[in-house]
Amino acid sequence: MGKDKEIRIFLTPSHICTVYLSMLARETKTEDQIDILFIDASRRKQGLINVITETSKLHNWNLFHDFSIVESEELDYTPSTRKSFTRKIKNWPIVKNIYNFLLQRHFKSVDQKYRTELQHLLADYSIADAKVSFFMLTQTYLNRPLQQLFPKASINYAEHGIGDYYHILDPNISKGNFYCVFSEAYKRYLEKTGHSTDWVKALPQIASFPTLAGELLVNYNKSIRLDQLIVPEKPCVFVLLEAVDMYQVNYSFWTEYLDQIFSQLETPGKYHYLLKPHPMQSEASLIATKKHLEDLGYSYTLLNHPTLINASAEVIFSFWKDKTEHVFCLFSSGCFYLSKLYAGEKIKFWYSTAFMSKHLGNAPPQFYKSFTESRKMIEEVFAENCIPF
């Protein structure tokens, strides 16, 4: 290790982000760099932690540590009455000030806890004598305590979904390079809206993703045995179920979503439907989805093994890509990424921001705002290879 030693600290909150960060670290590593990967300090199920841990082996990290707050695999993400009420009122003028004051006081205490833990973990790396670089996401929790510890560190961002492209334009976000999948389309969008683009960087070797996904599935298959899932000899429709419970959609949303999908297919009964739940999917939404398919007599497989739920759609799709004719979502990141990462396949990719916009009547203000403000970006940056429905 030479005098130009660099400590690179990577933060991941998700499976797909771990894939991207591992690719980025592996492709840019030099002999003077020490690479550290932290699973970010937020709540996640053990199944997701296991998938992230397995995927982290793509790169030879000098240090890997999990800051997760572990949740039960049975956790249901349907918002409680109290949670729904809080989401609605916390942006009211007087309530907002009180809420933010209490939140910042809470963060101050928690930040101190993580600073102490980070200092202990990094003590063996002579970090005071090295250049420090962060590779994080706009919404990862450990950003703040890390920047408090190392205020001179260089900042880089990675991604795990379309929200990162939206949040990174927030003027309150610390500025830095952004390594992303949709770099060229995003640059064009930024130029049209008067933003600079020199900080937008392409993720290296992204064209190799389908091959990499296939390699990862070889390891995952030891525990989940994808080849034993009963999938009849029919063409497949891959459906990305949406984690939209925070928008407080009506129960009928799920059957209406499926019916909207079926209306795009000439003979919907001839297909087998592969249903990919979101890790934060509510149990009620899954029950409604299964019931509607069973009532119609359509064949389906719910990919509900803990590994399949927690693994990213972009990775597990590799197993079924040769049987799949259609992929459907509303505005799920996964569909747009599939259309980019598997662009050479003869598959139609469908999305519908229009359908989602009709179901925002009960949405808390912050979620309504983020969807409506990002809709143009979704349609101009991510949907290049997709068909609206």
Asked if residue 252 is part of any domain, the answer here is yes
Total number of domains constituting the chain: 2
Asked if residue 21 is part of any domain, the answer here is yes
Q: What does the pLDDT read at residue 133?
A: 97
List strand residue ranges (DSSP E) for 2-128, in order: 6-12, 33-39, 43-45, 63-66, 69-71
Using the structure block, give the residue that is written with the tokens 């509510």: 282
Decide: helix, strand or coil at residue 109: helix
* Rounded CA separation 77/94 (Å): 28
Q: Do residues 242 and 198 share a domain?
A: no
Last residue of a domain, one of 173, 204, 235: 204
Q: What does the pLDDT read at residue 24?
A: 97
Q: Do residues 198 and 347 share a domain?
A: no
Asked if residue 43 is part of any domain, the answer here is yes
Could you tell me the pLDDT band of residue 78, with boundaries at 50, 70 and 90? low
Give every CB contact of residue 164 below 8 A, 6+ residues apart in sequence: 137, 138, 139, 157, 158, 178, 180
* Rounded CA separation 218/356 (Å): 36
* C-alpha 61, offset from chain centre: 22
Compute φ and ψ for 101, nearest 5 degrees: -60, -50
CB 14, CB 310: distance < 8 Å: no
CB 2, CB 33: distance < 8 Å: no
Asked if residue 215 is part of any domain, the answer here is no
Q: What is the CATH number of the domain that holds 165?
A: 3.40.50
19-30 pLDDT, tens per residue?
Answer: 999 999 999 999
Q: Do residues 234 and 141 share a domain?
A: no
Q: Do residues 304 and 368 share a domain?
A: yes
* Rounded CA separation 289/202 (Å): 37
Last residue of a domain, one of 169, 204, 239: 204
Asked if residue 368 is part of any domain, the answer here is yes
Q: Do residues 365 and 286 share a domain?
A: yes
Asked if residue 211 is part of any domain, the answer here is no
Higher-pLDDT residue of 277 and 92 is: 277
List strand residue ranges (DSSP E) for 252-329, in order: 272-276, 299-302, 324-328
241-293 pLDDT, tens per residue?
Answer: 988 888 889 889 999 999 999 999 999 999 999 999 988 888 889 999 999 99
Q: Over 60: is that where the pLDDT of 1 sits?
A: no
Q: What does the pLDDT read at residue 95?
A: 62
225: alpha, beta or left? (left if phi > 0; alpha if psi -120 to 50): left
Q: Do residues 125 and 196 share a domain?
A: yes
Could you tell me the pLDDT band of residue 182, with boundaries at 50, 70 and 90? very high
Q: Do residues 135 and 246 share a domain?
A: no
Q: Do residues 271 and 322 share a domain?
A: yes
Among candidate residues 131, 162, 108, 95, the one with its CA nearest the CA of residue 314: 162
Could you give the angle at the alpha carbon of 239 between the alpha carbons of 236 and 240, nearest 5°?
145
* Rounded CA separation 338/347 (Å): 10
Q: Do residues 143 and 279 share a domain?
A: no
Asked if residue 83 is part of any domain, the answer here is no
DSSP conformational letter for 266: S
Give every CB contact of residue 251 below 8 A, 6+ residues apart in sequence: 284, 288
Residue range of the domain that includes 181: 6-77+111-204
Task: Output the six-digit token pair for 176.
Answer: 């830095």
Could you tell me the pLDDT band of residue 227, with boundaries at 50, 70 and 90? low
* Rounded CA separation 143/145 (Å): 6
Q: Over 70: is that where the pLDDT of 97 sits?
A: no
The DSSP bridge pattern shows strands 272-276 and 348-351 to be unpaired
Asked if residue 272 is part of any domain, the answer here is yes
Compute φ and ψ for 360, nearest 5 degrees: -105, 10
